[in-house]
Amino acid sequence: MTAAPDFAGLPLAELARLAAERRLPPVDRWHPAHCGDSEMRIARDGTWFHQGSPIGRAEMVRLFSTILRREADGSFVLVTPVEKLAIAVEDAPFVAVELKREGEGERARLAFRLNTGDVIVAGRDHPLRFAEDGAGPRPYLAVRDGLDALVARPLYYELAEIALAEGGLPGVWSDGAFFAMAAA
């Protein structure tokens, strides 16, 4: 398992290239019989637990995140070619914990580092969406195949500052796509 890229030190174009090169297991092609419960849970803050205890090794969390899949019924599973185990997810399976911006307006690009070390550039393939709940707006970033990252509250405030500075409709641009900050 390779280390996460240096988010702060690399230019966004290099981060995007590294993210595009990342090879994930073909979980969409694996269809073993359901084997039971993994006794794992992903908390709202992105902490992974096994049998009630936090998984302390970042490498283990990163490895498990690569075999995570969302099923058609909305449930989550960890899947290998021979095993499929349920996993509980309280909100989104990932959390965007760092934001890097290059450019402005329609030429802006926003890269997010996830709690797993993955880097995602928001755009048409990875849209931002804003949901509303009793605690206020909750921004999400599409990661892959029905898996989202909750955008951490400090990053939401950064996005709001960007939107206010650019004027116009409340929202942000990234990789040629505009994302309105109103709840869908």
Predicted confidence (pLDDT) at residue 181 exceeds the cutoff of 60? yes
Mean pLDDT over 44-53 rounds to: 96
pLDDT in tens, 110-146: 999 999 989 999 999 999 999 987 777 899 999 999 9
The four Cα atoms 120, 109, 176, 18 give a dihedral, to 10 degrees, of -40
Q: What is the largest CA-CA distance in the chain?
A: 52
- pTM of the predicted protein model: 0.85
Task: Determine contact, residues 37/83, Cβ cutoff 8 Å.
Answer: no
Domains of the chain: 22-89 (3.10.540.10), 94-180 (2.30.270.10)
Per-residue pLDDT of 141-174, as tens digits, reads 999 999 999 999 999 999 999 999 988 788 999 9
Burial class (CB in 10 A: 0-12, 13-18, 19+), 111: buried
